Structure 1
């Protein structure tokens, strides 16, 4: 399965931990861990909140499905 989100990458870039994110969202750390490993995905409202907490555009949390050579 292809990685859908980049939450783990952005957490590293922002020098934050998944535990910090779980506490900030009031979520179980195991749930956040599943998001970071792309085992499951957060819903759109949670993804929006993650973007706000990390001070990034929501698009920065998602991998593009487009490959080189494809047009938009």
Structure 2
């Protein structure tokens, strides 16, 4: 059974040529947490999604997989 993908954080980081470590430093968060988000093992809180979007300079909707 395939794991559900809810966020595109890993894809957006790759598109911008950035790393999990870069995002962890930008947000002042643990690298392990960022890694779990990128693997969709854990989902960020809504507040964190907005922080991620700001750090990556993208619309927050870019970070989510569309439901339609």
**TM more than 0.5:** yes
TM-score normalised by structure 2 residue count? 0.93
TM-score normalised by structure 1 residue count? 0.88
Matches within 5 A, 1:17-32: 17-32=19-34
Q: Which has the larger radius of gyration?
A: 1
- 4+ residue stretches of structure 1 with deviation over 4 A? none
- Report how many residues are paired: 66
Identify unmatched segments of 5+ residues in structure 2: none
Identify unmatched segments of 5+ residues in structure 1: 67-72
Q: CA RMSD in A?
A: 0.7
